[in-house]
A and B are shown apart, each in its own frame.
Chain A
């Protein structure tokens, strides 16, 4: 069974962390993955950096620019990840933008992911219609779960459509915004969490965007299965170094 699906069956709230591959230094990838697993994180999103990350706020933009400057490429990331399954057992998801995947070759990309032991893909700018028309078969051939996003503005009909197309979890964007930690959630965000929970979707939801600390993690996981932290973690390692992973995770739960 796909590691993501297995993990989703565990009776606990899931903590997932995102980091930009190749940041702060080009060769930090494996070390950060290892520390995250040791700290008890449930799932990992490995960010493949892109020159023009439209859905991201300044923190991930800057880490992506730095990672590209450090020499990170799709092939470089895959070569760093070769053999990773000897030590890392939690689900791994590659998150990035569609153009680098397209240039690498969608099928070749998926094949490499399978060889490495990647479980899922998140490509925010590969929309549902394009995915289903052109790429679904390829993703499935290589056992990759494609994760779709919803936002507070997504209509119920579209959420149902996305739920039907999903086979793992739905990435629930907490607010109408790009990535980057804010100070907390308001009442309307909680209403949104409740509203989606009440829809009784087939796929569990994991909340991302704006989760930065214990308080926001708890708020996001009251009604949903888990939460993803990205920008706040990147800020932490920017300040405290690539070996400071545990001290961040400890503050969350």
Chain B
């Protein structure tokens, strides 16, 4: 893990990525956020922290995850595609890299109560898992609508000893679960750490979560050097909801201009249908959950509800790092519809024997339209496995 922010695409001292980021928080949250902000870099740099973090990533999460050359998929699309197998992490997705890091952070800050938000339940499960591991109380806020849609993950969190509290406000989905978690933190400012699940929220969260996820690109560099004799691929590709798996894959490539960065957003039923989560196309600059970023909103500044078949991508904002990649032109943003993502997920299953999460399937779907050269090396973050989406696949394809 590189702990120095040394590129212009990283957060500055005030937590800004270009025009985006910052900490737009009510004063009630200031002590909590300031406590974290003033200590997170120092804590992460402590040798004992690094040692414990790396050991847990190795022995508990199962890192390093393989970088797998997808031969049949590559042949089909006439380019060289590698899959970074985050789906093989314990709990089935990259989310656990961050929760391991944050639970160690929480312990060093002396916190004994953990709160988190979750949409589809993946981050909730990853948080409940590390709380069980460390014996800390865990409360997960989840939209009442999502609790009904994602019953198996609710059951997992309960088995892991977490309390799942329904968010009953607003549209009762991820953004409302995040609101409820923030309100909990306002009400419990002393003993509680809030484990945010993505590169969103007030500074220092986007930077801290990106640093914990940066193990993905750290490993990719080493693995690609072994396989291809060079650290840098031509492109790195990841799906973006809030954007934590993307931030992890991009992190060590942000200041390598020869590496193309491709971000894939969920177009839902189509960018112009009114049922979409393609924030870069539909969003304007605004404030959501304490961060200035691109977000989907009405002309009047009310935050709107996004749509995607994938519960992990239907966030109305995007992390400030990604907003800056979009605005600066450093990143190429592509949106993929539900239908194309589902088809791509099924295709990878048949070509490579890997059933991807629907979130990840969005990243796989770009090859139908975005053409690459024959000798291009393209690394896709295979951010999660598709077990959690089985019901959606069954219904969609009448399996």
A interface with B by C-beta (< 8 Å): 50-55, 57-58, 61-62, 65, 68, 73-75, 97-104, 124-127, 129-130, 148-151, 153-155, 158, 162, 173, 176-178
CA distance A75 to B28 in the complex (A): 29
Q: Which chain B residues (349-389) contact chain A, with CB distance < 8 Å?
A: none
Closest Cβ of chain A to B189, distance in Å, is 5
> Nearest Cβ in chain B — how far from A5, in angstroms?
22
Chain A residues, Cβ within 8 Å of B395: none
Name the interface residues of B261-302: CB closer than 8 Å to any CB of A. 284-290, 297, 299-302
Cβ–Cβ < 8 Å partners of A154 in chain B: 27, 30-31
Check A149/B27 contact, CB under 8 A, given A130-B22, A177-B186.
Answer: yes
Q: Which residue of B lies closest to A162 (CB)?
A: B27
Contact call A103/B30, Cβ cutoff below 8 A: no
Cα-based distance from A100 to B287 in the complex (angstroms)? 9
Q: Is B187 a contact of A127 with CB atoms below 8 Å?
A: no
Specify which chain A residues have a CB less than 8 angstroms from the CB of B189 in the assembled complex: 151, 153, 176
Closest 9 CB pairs of A and B: A103-B301, A100-B301, A124-B26, A149-B27, A51-B302, A153-B31, A55-B26, A99-B287, A73-B300
187-208 of chain B: CB within 8 A of chain A: 187-190
Do the beta carbons of B27 and A103 come within 8 Å of each other? no
Interface pair A173/B27, CB less than 8 Å apart: yes
Does B179 sit at the interface, judged by CB under 8 A? yes
- B301-321 near A? 1/0 per residue, CB < 8 Å: 111100000000000000000
Q: Is B183 an interface residue (CB 8 A)?
A: yes
Q: How far is the CB of B296 from chain A (nearest CB, A)?
A: 11
Q: How far is the CA of A113 from the CA of B25 in the complex (A)?
A: 23
Known: A54-B179, A176-B189. A103 touches B28 (CB 8 A): no
- B170 interface contact, C-beta 8 A: yes
With contacts A55-B186, A153-B190, A176-B186 known, is A148 near B302, CB below 8 A?
Answer: no
B23 at the interface (CB under 8 A from A): yes
Q: Does B392 make an interface contact (CB < 8 A)?
A: no
**Within the complex, what minimum Cβ distance (angstroms) separates B330 from chain A?**
25
Q: How far is the CB of A192 from chain B (nearest CB, A)?
A: 13
User: Would you call B27 and A148 a contact (CB within 8 A)?
Assistant: yes
Of all chain B residues, which has the CB nearest A126?
A: B24
Of B14, B22, B169, B284, chain A has the most CB atoms within 10 Å of the CB of B169
Q: Note all chain B residues with C-beta closer than 8 A to A151.
A: 27-28, 31, 189
Q: Does B341 contact A (CB under 8 A)?
A: no
B interface residues, Cβ below 8 angstroms from A: 14, 22-28, 30-31, 169-170, 175-176, 179, 182-183, 186-190, 284-290, 297, 299-304
Query: Closest residue of chain B to A152, judged by CB?
Result: B189
Q: Which residues of A contact B297 (CB under 8 A)?
A: 99, 103
Q: How far is the CA of A60 from the CA of B300 in the complex (A)?
A: 19
Q: Report the separation of the CA atoms of residues A177 and B190 in the bound assembly, to the nearest whole angstrom.
A: 12
Q: Is the CB of A178 within 8 A of B183?
A: yes
Identity of the chain B residue whose Cβ is nearest the Cβ of A53 in the assembled complex: B179
CB distance from A142 to the nearest CB of B (A): 19
Residue of B nearest to A100 (CB): B301
* Complex CA–CA separation, A98 to B290 (angstroms): 10
A101 to B231, CA, bound (A): 46
Q: Which residue of B lies closest to A73 (CB)?
A: B300
Known: A126-B24, A148-B27, A176-B189. A54 touches B300 (CB 8 A): no
Report the nearest A residue to B286, measured CB to CB. Answer: A99
Q: Which residue of B lies closest to A176 (CB)?
A: B189
Could you say which of B24, B169, B301 contacts A127, with CB atoms under 8 Å apart?
B24
Is the CB–CB distance between A173 and B28 below 8 Å?
yes
Q: Which of A52, A61, A75, A104 contacts B303 (CB under 8 A)?
A: A52
Min distance, Cβ B358 to any Cβ of chain A, angstroms:
26
Minimum CB–CB distance for A75 against chain B, Å:
8
Whole-angstrom distance between the Cβ of A77 and the nearest chain B Cβ:
10
Bound complex: CA A54 to CA B28 (Å): 10
Among residues of B, the one whose C-beta sits closest to the C-beta of A134 is B22
A99 x B30 contact (CB < 8 A): no
Instruction: Note all chain A residues with C-beta closer than 8 A to B186.
Output: 54-55, 176-178
Return chain B residues, CB-CB under 8 Å to A101. 301
Q: State A218–B47 Cα separation when bound (angstroms).
A: 54
* Neighbouring B residues of A65 by C-beta, 8 Å: 169-170
| B179 CB contacts on chain A under 8 angstroms | 52-54
Cα distance, A129 to B25, chains bound together (Å): 11
Q: Please tell me if the beta carbons of B302 and A68 are within 8 angstroms of each other in the complex.
A: yes
Contacts of A177 in B (CB 8 A): 28, 186-187
The answer to whether B290 and A125 have CB atoms under 8 Å apart is yes
A52 touches B175 (CB 8 A): yes
Q: Is the CB of B23 within 8 A of A98?
A: no
- Extra contacts besides A52-B179, A55-B28, A100-B302 (17): CB < 8 Å: A53-B179, A54-B179, A54-B182, A57-B183, A75-B300, A99-B303, A101-B301, A102-B285, A102-B287, A103-B301, A149-B26, A151-B189, A154-B31, A176-B187, A176-B189, A178-B28, A178-B187
